[in-house]
């Protein structure tokens, strides 16, 4: 049915665990309740999502590494009746939860109570709840009904060019939509048996991929970069799917000659997966929109606009800027909040990052907004580079390929660019760090 690393979980074992959960007091009469899950075991996440969904309840997914106090805060913010923390038996009840007995919490050694609910999303329809990554602003609670997710999964599988013989290898966390919905639930729905990878040793992951010749690897650009950067190691990829952020140009150029099928999907928290490119033409190629959506965006490459999505009569502002190519494929060029206004001229960070990524010796880069007391907004960059690379060399490189107003006013060489649990870089936090 599925596997975690190299451990197979068959259908019988999966069903037996579900029966065990159903006997627990806090998983009885789930209909109409909202339950927060903060679990490290991906099989428990998948099992409990299916259990709660099947009984008419709602789920809030919280990353398994989240500290208890933060998980309690998020569960209370989302108006949950209880929190399952690290183990399905560990239940922390909200004061108003009349279904769980006090001994359920005390037996687990968790003498806490959820804070009073606030910021609760409207609507009682059973749903999946998640907090946005908060890469460009404060995290917000996102609600998507199970019915909406069913429609997305059907459209996703219809658009995805794959077959049952290709094994999905899921590298992102199943507490995020990309890993859970696209990587696992869509795979199970089309009859495939996904492999969920929790072992973060790159050598282990490469060997697993190598031992699974017909595969579809679900990953994010930073991890795909690491897996393809071992000296002397042949890249074993058969088919890859990238998401989370547009693939950097340097990574695309490196992988394109050696990976038979390079795929990329685009989406947002509110709408789910929006488009799939079954064979990328450029690093910014996000493919064609899924059949259940209507996407409004500029058809002029020189004047990109915000991507607006309509799904189930609901209009969603993605906050992303792009355009539609002549072939009808989406191209994403920036986040609206990331655009830098240099003396009235727009600078898209991805454009500058693409130039930086092609400079010899640069492993990773991020471009973000700086503030000058007189000049206003400026372009800044952080890079991870080989020891021999100097900031002035990189500046000179940018001046060869960019107009002056797009050249970073400051290039900082760092050992690591910080990322959130989803593998995304938060330009907003980098900006705030510069201002502090």
**Cβ contact 364:384 at 8 Å:** yes
What's the pLDDT score for residue 106? 38
Question: Nearest CA to 322 among 348, 339, 304, 308?
Answer: 304
CATH of the domain at 421: 3.30.300.30
Out of 131, 160, 179, a domain closes at 131
**Cβ contact 434:412 at 8 Å:** no
Question: Nearest CA to 129 among 65, 83, 187, 68?
Answer: 83
Question: Nearest CA to 363 among 342, 394, 338?
Answer: 394
Residue 139 in any domain: the answer is: no
The tokens of 153 are what? 């999964």
3-state secondary structure string, 93-114?
Answer: ECCCCCCCCHHHHHHCCCCCCC
The residue range of the domain holding 222 is 147-336
The three-state secondary structure class of 430 is: helix
Out of 303, 336, 369, a domain closes at 336
DSSP secondary structure letter of residue 339: -
Q: Using only the alpha carbons of the chain, give its radius of gyration.
A: 22
Q: How many domains does the chain have?
A: 3
Same domain, 332 and 412: no
Same domain, 165 and 83: no
Out of 336, 368, 403, a domain closes at 336
Residue 141 in any domain: the answer is: no
What's the pLDDT score for residue 302? 87
Residue 360: alpha-carbon gap to chain centroid: 29
Residue 235 in any domain: the answer is: yes
First-to-last alpha carbon distance for the chain, in angstroms, is: 50
What's the pLDDT score for residue 99? 42
Q: Which residues pair with 316 in a beta bridge?
A: 309
In angstroms, rounded to a whole number, what is the distance separating the alpha carbons of residues 338 and 290?
26
Residue 114 in any domain: the answer is: yes
What's the pLDDT score for residue 83? 94
Q: Given the structure tokens 């239940």, which residue do they identify?
A: 91
pLDDT by 10s per residue, the chain, length 436: 899 999 999 989 888 888 888 889 889 888 999 999 999 999 999 999 999 999 999 999 999 989 998 899 899 989 999 999 999 999 998 654 444 444 444 344 444 555 554 434 445 799 999 987 654 456 789 999 999 999 999 999 999 999 888 999 999 999 999 999 999 999 999 999 999 999 989 999 999 999 999 999 999 988 898 898 887 777 899 999 999 888 888 889 889 999 999 999 999 888 999 999 999 999 999 999 999 999 999 999 989 999 999 987 789 999 999 999 998 999 998 888 889 999 888 899 988 998 998 899 998 899 999 988 777 899 999 999 999 999 999 999 999 999 999 999 999 999 988 876 666 777 877 887 765 5
Residue 365 in any domain: the answer is: yes
């Amino acid at each position: 049915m599925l596997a975690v690393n190299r451990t197979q979980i068959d259908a019988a074992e999966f069903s037996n665990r579900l029966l065990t959960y159903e006997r627990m007091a806090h998983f009885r009469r789930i209909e109409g309740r909202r339950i927060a899950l903060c679990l490290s075991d991906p099989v428990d996440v998948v099992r409990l999502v299916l259990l709660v969904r099947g009984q008419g309840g709602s789920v809030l997914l919280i990353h398994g590494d989240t500290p208890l106090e933060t998980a309690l805060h998020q569960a209370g913010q989302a108006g949950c009746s209880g929190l399952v923390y690290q183990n399905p038996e560990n239940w922390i009840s909200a004061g108003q939860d009349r279904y769980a007995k006090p001994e359920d919490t005390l037996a687990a050694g968790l003498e806490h109570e959820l804070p009073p609910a606030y910021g609760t999303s409207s609507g009682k329809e059973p749903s999946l709840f998640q907090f946005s990554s908060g890469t460009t602003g404060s995290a917000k609670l996102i609600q998507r009904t199970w019915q909406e997710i069913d429609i997305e999964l059907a459209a996703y599988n219809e658009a995805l060019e794959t077959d049952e013989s290709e094994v999905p290898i899921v590298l992102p966390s199943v507490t995020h939509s990309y890993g859970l919905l696209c990587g696992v639930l869509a795979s199970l729905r089309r009859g495939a048996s996904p492999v969920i990878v929790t072992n973060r040793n790159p050598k282990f992951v490469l060997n697993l991929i190598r031992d699974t010749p017909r595969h579809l690897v679900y990953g994010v650009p930073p991890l795909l970069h690491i897996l393809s950067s071992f000296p002397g190691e042949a890249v074993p990829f058969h088919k890859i799917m990238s998401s989370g952020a547009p693939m950097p140009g340097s990574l695309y150029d490196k992988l394109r000659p050696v990976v038979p099928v390079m795929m990329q999907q685009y989406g947002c928290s509110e709408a789910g997966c929006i488009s799939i490119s079954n064979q990328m033409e450029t690093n910014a190629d996000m493919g064609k929109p899924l059949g259940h959506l209507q996407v409004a965006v500029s058809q002029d490459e020189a004047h990109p606009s915000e991507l607006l999505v309509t799904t189930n009569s609901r209009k969603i502002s993605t906050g992303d800027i792009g355009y539609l190519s002549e072939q009808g494929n989406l191209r994403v060029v920036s986040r609206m909040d990331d655009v830098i206004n240099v003396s009235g001229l727009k600078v898209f960070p991805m454009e500058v990052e693409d130039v930086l990524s092609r400079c010899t010796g640069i492993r990773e880069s991020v471009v973000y907004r700086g503030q000058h007391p007189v000049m206003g907004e400026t372009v800044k960059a952080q890079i991870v580079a080989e020891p021999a690379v100097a900031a002035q060399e990189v500046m000179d490189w940018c001046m060869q390929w960019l107009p002056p107003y797009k050249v970073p006013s400051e290039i900082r060489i760092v050992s690591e660019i910080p990322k959130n649990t989803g593998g995304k870089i938060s330009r907003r936090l980098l900006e705030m760090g510069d201002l502090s």
